[in-house]
Structure 1
Amino acid sequence: MDYQTSPNLPALNIPNPDNFLIAENGDLFLNIAHQRLKKLMNYYQEYGKTATILIAEPYPVIFLGTFWAGIMANCSVILANPNWGIYEWEQVFNSIGNTDLQFGNLPHIAKIDDVDNPINQRRSLFPSGSILIPTGGTSGTIKFAVHTWETLTASAIGFQQYFDKFQINSFCILPLFHVSGLMQFVRSLITGGQLVIWSGKNLEKGDYPQLDISDFFISLVPTQLHRLLYHPQTANWLSKFTTVLLGGSPPWLELLNQARQHQIRLSPTYGMTETASGVVTLKPDDFLAGNNSSGRVLPHAKVMIVDPQGQPVKSPEIGLIKIQANSLSWGHDTHINQPRLSQLVTDDLGYFDDWGYLTLVGRQGDKIITGGENVFPVEVEAAILATGMVADVCVVGIGDRHWGEVVTAVYVPHYPPVSIEILANSLGDRLSRYKHPKNWIAVDTLPRNDRGKINRKSVIQQIQN
């Protein structure tokens, strides 16, 4: 069937359909896109309006075919994690209401036909062409950033210009319902590049395709890179990529140094769901030369450092990161009736050096105030991880009558574990004494999401229960 010339359907507009999706079933992608597009157009003809659709497809190729059909039909598209539990789905439907069509694995709560059910009385009222991408950040509460195809393509074009690549080839192991995975599809699609979808778990086992990856980008979160570097063969394989993007959470110094030892062309990035992925990125040549920053601002964005009153500060003074970008979302699902965001003042703290490189310091909301001194958990965590004595760590502040808060390290020990005394002494002069944890608590695991972000509230609850 000719997918581009079906008489009653919009063109699927895939620049390189025969060579777009490799190491996967490209024909299935096109078939699913065509079938779902036909269904969406039939809905429009029957009801006289575009559908609001929810996609919770667990199989990546079916997910992408459904997503692309929704874009072509100008639907409101809501992306969902097919592995959410009932509690998460309750949050979602209490927030967005019910949808017209649903694709994938959804629990019973999302399929209730009872007209008296409160969910069914609240219809999703997002404008046609809205793309809702889930984000929980470090809060653990699911919300959606409301994007459009224009904001996503603005991000992709800015990326293309920054790296000066005509085509963007992407090797994707991140979830497609997250912005980090979805944007790899968008970049490759609109630039006529190629897309490989692969399992991150298989990659960690040393299972990767026999493919020339010298002109491919791959995106990882720090915990993934940490695990991959344990295997010399996989580390060598990573070094063949033109660029290894690293985002999702701040990397620690030892991890960056390990990547350099393997000559991995690492590219730390700073961005978020609300900005449709990265707005600041470090180029690999700068990284290999010893730069540990998050890089420079991409062409489609403007990033400033401001004080709590929103006034600019002089470099290299630390302040809150403020973002203006063509890729900025319209807001969150609860703010859909408000005008589009013109700027975003984040909770992230950082500073620019004299050469325009951004360095992240931590999050204002995570700051621990102990004995009148400010401590940022990211810095302490990096120092602890650099000792090589723990598998994972999260630093939090616990209330204390004398100190206000005490710095507390919640960690996953290596096996065999070392004593707390050895751990504490291992920090030595890596940090000022007031930043050293006063409490050390060993746990089996830490609550990280699939992008490597830690939920600090859950950690505090975990150790207080």
Structure 2
Amino acid sequence: MGQTPIKPTLKEVLRDRWGDDWLIGPSSKGFWHRLEHLTPVFAAYHESFSGAGVLIAEADPLQFLAACLAAWSESCVVVLANPRWGQQERQQVTELVAPDWNAPLAPGLRAYPCQTFGTAPGQILIPTGGSSGQIKFAVHTWKTLLTSVEGFCAHFEVDQVNAYCVLPLFHVSGLMQVLRVLASGGSLVLQPYRDLKAGVRLPLPGGGFLSLVPTQLQDLLGLGDEFILWLRSFRAVLLGGAPAGRSLLDGAQTAQIPVALTYGMTETAAQVATLLPEEFLAGHRSSGRSLPHASITILSDQGQPQSPEQPGQVVIRASSLAQGYLGGGSEMVVGSAHPTGVKPFATDDIGYFDNLGYLHIVGRSSTKIITGGENIFPEDVEAALLTVDGVRDVCVVGLPCDRWGQQLCALVVMASPARLQDLPELLNPLVAAYKRPKRWILVGTLPRTPQGKLSRPQALVLAQQILGTEP
């Protein structure tokens, strides 16, 4: 029986890649220079304050990378923060980890000492839960994230990952792109999305991966033939973070874009199921099959495995699972920290496997709307509305209602506002009667998180403000 290969540490990966020209956009030379400068700073900090954390709220991507990797490789507890968080979010973070905002660990660097009780050296805390208004941190390690990298490479059958990153690095969707590239010996483009949308495309070795949220793919498809040809050049365009409308996916297939629909979250170190591009181009519309490092089951309300085509709670076992949470009223729950490393993670998602073993996500238990005794997942209604020509974006919320418990209300962004009055009739043949919204609101834009996810709490408040029904 063969021995399990020893995984390299982050310090070993950085040593092996030292001096490589691996960054496109920012200067690789500048990165290595900053890493060399910051590493002894964080090493001294860790030695003097063992167990203390480092909160990184750096907007500059080169500074972020150098600070994050220097601190993490020296066994500091690294806490990632959104540099654009406002006063409310900063207050939540202050209550969780008490960063000293007035004492950066190096001049000109937005990295601050903080308190991370209950954590262990070398852990990295990645923010999640912002769409619900309550920030918490998923606690990961180099091992859990590297396991995700290995599963990704095996699923796509690649030894080296080249990635084009326009997503925020403090988020798992951006951070994992960095780690896939670093660990596999690839190259990484780092570019603000606004520059890409403005038409600036940077060179990346062939066969790379581009990660987008649906609104970004919609934008880029609208930029003309040159962008479509560019999108086709990727090994895969990873699409996740929010549900994608059928019309967008059909348009991407018509344009022969190698889309890979993904399912995953911060707690799982990004995707644990992914549809391969060739499957997408053949007409599949699902989250694909499980990655090698993950096992997904669908459970009934009684905790029993569901048969194919029967929806239930999505439960994940994976060696990439976070070791727990810090904040948000959550316990330090187990995942990969469990002695066996396989304790399941019960998600908030509702889904099913089809007869071919492809995962389909129906909605979220927490977003369920109950109207007249019927359970409705707003994502289901939204997906139907997004197939209607002219509907650009939509969010369905449940307004408090004495008669029905909740009343369905659709906030809609449309190419032609005058067509709003036609939507009820156009939707009628697409969904059951109890799923049809009773209120319709035309809006110019919908509230979203920095990762492109709908902020349903904010959308509900917006609807109540427009209708004058605030509680």
TM-score clears 0.5: yes
Query: Structure 2 residue aligned with 1:141, among 122, 134, 140?
Result: 134
Instruction: Check conservation: 2:414, 2:420, Cα contact below 8 A.
Output: no
How do residues 54-453 of structure 1 correspond to structure 2 at under 5 angstroms?
54-98=55-99, 124-136=117-129, 138-209=131-202, 211-232=203-224, 233-334=226-327, 339=334, 340=337, 342-414=343-415, 416-453=416-453
Structure 2 Cα separation of the partners of residues 164 and 181 of structure 1: 21
What's the CA shift for 1:69?
0.6
Structure 1 Cα separation of the partners of residues 300 and 67 of structure 2: 43
Counterpart position of 2:33: 31
Q: How many residues align?
A: 443
Moved more, 405-414 or 355-364: 405-414
Q: What CA deviation, in whole Å up to 9, does each residue of 1:138-181 have, x standing for no partner?
A: 31221110000000001000001111101011110000000000
Structure 2 Cα separation of the partners of residues 373 and 382 of structure 1: 18
Q: What CA deviation, in whole Å up to 9, does each residue of 1:411-451 have, x standing for no partner?
A: 2232x412432122222412222212111012232110121
1:179 maps to amino acid = V
Question: Secondary structure of 1:380's match?
Answer: helix
1:64 maps to amino acid = L
Question: Secondary structure of 2:237's match?
Answer: strand
Instruction: Check conservation: 1:392, 1:413, Cα contact below 8 A.
Output: yes
What's the CA shift for 1:239?
1.2
Instruction: Check conservation: 1:53, 1:101, Cα contact below 8 A.
Output: no
Structure 1 Cα separation of the partners of residues 441 and 45 of structure 2: 56
Question: Secondary structure of 2:278's match?
Answer: helix
1:312 maps to amino acid = P
What's the CA shift for 1:355?
1.5
Moved more, 74-83 or 417-426: 417-426
What's the CA shift for 1:11?
8.2
Moved more, 76-85 or 395-404: 395-404
Instruction: Check conservation: 2:368, 2:377, Cα contact below 8 A.
Output: yes
Closer, same or farther in 2 for the Cα pair 1:10/1:262, shift >3 Å?
closer
Closer, same or farther in 2 for the Cα pair 1:403/1:321, shift >3 Å?
same
Closer, same or farther in 2 for the Cα pair 1:11/1:243, shift >3 Å?
closer
Question: Secondary structure of 1:332's match?
Answer: strand
Structure 2 Cα separation of the partners of residues 423 and 239 of structure 1: 33
Instruction: Check conservation: 1:28, 1:62, Cα contact below 8 A.
Output: no
Closer, same or farther in 2 for the Cα pair 1:252/1:102, shift >3 Å?
farther
Question: Secondary structure of 1:264's match?
Answer: coil
Instruction: Check conservation: 2:398, 2:409, Cα contact below 8 A.
Output: yes
What's the CA shift for 1:216?
0.5
2:423 maps to amino acid = L
| Structure 1 unaligned spans of 5+ | 1-8, 112-119
Instruction: Check conservation: 1:98, 1:123, Cα contact below 8 A.
Output: no
Structure 2 Cα separation of the partners of residues 31 and 186 of structure 1: 19
Q: What CA deviation, in whole Å up to 9, does each residue of 1:215-234 have, x standing for no partner?
A: 10010001111111111222
Structure 1 Cα separation of the partners of residues 446 and 309 of structure 2: 34
Closer, same or farther in 2 for the Cα pair 1:162/1:20, shift >3 Å?
same
Closer, same or farther in 2 for the Cα pair 1:123/1:158, shift >3 Å?
closer
Counterpart position of 2:461: 461
Q: What CA deviation, in whole Å up to 9, does each residue of 1:286-330 have, x standing for no partner?
A: 000000010000000110001223221121210000001110001
Normalising by the residue count of structure 2, what TM-score does the alignment of the two structures yield? Answer: 0.89
Provide the aligned C-alpha RMSD in A: 2.2
Structure 1 Cα separation of the partners of residues 229 and 453 of structure 2: 26
Q: What CA deviation, in whole Å up to 9, does each residue of 1:229-286 have, x standing for no partner?
A: 1112222211111100001011111111010011000000000000000000000000
Counterpart position of 1:114: none
- Counting aligned pairs with the same residue, the percent is 43
Moved more, 354-363 or 95-104: 95-104
| Structure 2 unaligned spans of 5+ | 1-10, 466-471
2:352 maps to amino acid = Y
Structure 2 Cα separation of the partners of residues 384 and 69 of structure 1: 47
Instruction: Check conservation: 2:51, 2:120, Cα contact below 8 A.
Output: no
Question: Secondary structure of 2:350's match?
Answer: strand
Structure 1 Cα separation of the partners of residues 404 and 13 of structure 2: 64
What's the CA shift for 1:194?
0.9
Q: What CA deviation, in whole Å up to 9, does each residue of 1:378-429 have, x standing for no partner?
A: 1211221221323321001112222222221012232x41243212222241
Moved more, 48-57 or 283-292: 48-57
Structure 2 Cα separation of the partners of residues 338 and 363 of structure 1: 20
Structure 2 Cα separation of the partners of residues 146 and 288 of structure 1: 36
Structure 1 Cα separation of the partners of residues 322 and 294 of structure 2: 13
Structure 1 Cα separation of the partners of residues 411 and 333 of structure 2: 40
2:462 maps to amino acid = Q
Moved more, 128-137 or 163-172: 128-137
Question: Secondary structure of 1:43's match?
Answer: helix
Structure 1 Cα separation of the partners of residues 243 and 130 of structure 2: 13
Structure 2 Cα separation of the partners of residues 453 and 195 of structure 1: 24
Instruction: Check conservation: 2:73, 2:122, Cα contact below 8 A.
Output: no
